[in-house]
Amino acid sequence: MPVISLRLKEKDFNKLDEFSKMVNKDKSTVVRELLENGWKFSMIRLYRDGKLSLETLASKLELSISETIDLLSETGIKSPVSYDDYVKGFEAL
């Protein structure tokens, strides 16, 4: 596993420390989870802004199209695929 070293502002380090205690995880684990969540959030925003297609978003998030649609729904972003289109896709399979 590659290793990275970085400098944090005192307030950012304190946030990291506080959060790691809140979730009862070590700082390295918390940083990895925050990075993953930040990646997801950023990709979803790019999708919302029309800069990524649904297929590209799913690929970037390493999810199936249906899992991606579910994630978008959970985050309150309307899917471009209607329920009827979704059902028709399954029927076509």
Mean pLDDT of 46-65: 93
Cα distance between residue 20 and residue 16, in whole Å: 6
**What is the value of pTM for the model shown?**
0.77
Indicate if the pLDDT at residue 27 is higher than 80: yes
Tokens representing residue 25 in the block: 């995880």
Cα distance between residue 65 and residue 93, in whole Å: 14
Model confidence at 80, in pLDDT bands (50, 70, 90)?
Answer: low
